[in-house]
């Protein structure tokens, strides 16, 4: 991300239990977590991932990130954080949300992360799974292994066949599943047959 990315900017202080799609309310979300029963899990994960460092929110008219690293003489502002540190903070904010969703999908959460922080991320996933169903799509075998060792997970390995994504072991399957969220269309049309052959 660039130094002026939404997640790095100060934000007006308000109660924010859910991280915005572009993470533009990140400081407010973290302060909301600080005032919830998820604060301990959030800061414990940061300590596990970045020993000797801590995060606090400078509160005023604007909320600002302030990252204290043990080897730096002053706290780092949001625009000074590395992509990996910012990515982990965002993931922790999502997984410690005071308003957890029924289903949480994390797409390639390993992006920009050092593998050393995977155990801390897995601990967050484990705790969050008590409140939400979690689906993780990852290209990292290391992260998959760490998650499988700690959490009760069902791993599905995917592969490409003729440009299509298939389950490994079922590359030649002709089974086609159709999902349609448009209730009106479903009322007007006959329901698709499960297990029908896919034809080009």
186 and 92 belong to one structural domain: no
Checking if the pLDDT of 173 tops 50, the result is yes
Q: How many CB atoms lie within 10 A of CB 151?
A: 15
144 and 173 belong to one structural domain: no
The confidence score (pLDDT) of residue 191 equals 46
Q: How many CB atoms lie within 10 A of CB 4?
A: 9
- Spatial separation of the C-alpha atoms in residues 108 and 135, rounded to whole Å: 11
65 and 119 belong to one structural domain: yes
Q: In this prediction, what percent of the chain has a pLDDT beyond 70? A: 82
151 and 171 belong to one structural domain: no
183 and 112 belong to one structural domain: no
100 and 173 belong to one structural domain: no
73 and 172 belong to one structural domain: no
Q: What is the pLDDT of residues 176-199, one digit of tens each?
A: 555 555 544 444 444 444 443 434
- Spatial separation of the C-alpha atoms in residues 93 and 95, rounded to whole Å: 6
Strand partners, 176: 196
In the DSSP assignment, the letter for residue 8 is G
**Residue-by-residue DSSP string for 82-102:** -HHHHHHHHHHHHHT-SS--S
Print the domain residue range for 188: 161-200
Q: What is the pLDDT of residues 113-160, one digit of tens each?
A: 999 999 999 999 999 999 999 999 999 999 999 999 998 887 777 777
184 versus 96: which is more confidently predicted?
96
Position 94 in a domain? yes
Q: What is the CA radius of gyration of the chain?
A: 20
C-alpha torsion 99→63→53→151, nearest 10: 10
Position 53 in a domain? yes
The confidence score (pLDDT) of residue 199 equals 40
Q: What is the pLDDT of residues 19-33, one digit of tens each?
A: 999 999 999 999 999
The confidence score (pLDDT) of residue 3 equals 84
Sign of the dihedral defined by the CA atoms of residues 78, 79, 84, 86, in that order: positive
60 and 137 belong to one structural domain: yes
Position 1 in a domain? no
Domain count within the chain = 2
119 and 181 belong to one structural domain: no
Report the CATH number that the domain containing residue 18 is assigned in CATH.
Answer: 3.40.50.300
84 and 172 belong to one structural domain: no
């Amino acid at each position: 991300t660039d130094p002026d990315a939404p997640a790095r900017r100060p934000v007006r202080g308000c109660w924010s239990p859910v991280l915005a799609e572009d993470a533009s309310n990140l400081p407010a979300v973290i302060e909301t977590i600080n005032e919830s029963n998820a604060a301990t899990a959030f800061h414990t994960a940061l300590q596990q991932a970045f020993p000797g460092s801590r995060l606090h929110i400078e509160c005023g008219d604007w909320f600002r990130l302030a990252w204290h690293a043990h080897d730096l003489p002053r706290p780092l502002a949001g625009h000074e954080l590395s992509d990996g540190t910012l990515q982990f903070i965002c993931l922790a904010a999502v997984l410690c949300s005071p308003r957890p969703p029924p289903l949480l999908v994390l797409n390639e959460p390993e992006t920009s992360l050092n593998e050393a922080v995977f155990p801390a991320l897995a601990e967050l996933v484990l705790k969050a799974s008590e409140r939400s169903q979690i689906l993780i799509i990852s290209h990292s075998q290391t992260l998959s292994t760490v998650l499988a060792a700690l959490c009760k997970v069902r791993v599905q390995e995917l592969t490409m066949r003729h440009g299509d994504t298939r389950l490994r072991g079922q590359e030649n399957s002709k089974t086609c599943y159709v999902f349609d969220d448009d209730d009106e269309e479903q009322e007007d049309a006959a329901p698709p047959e499960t297990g029908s052959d896919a034809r080009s």
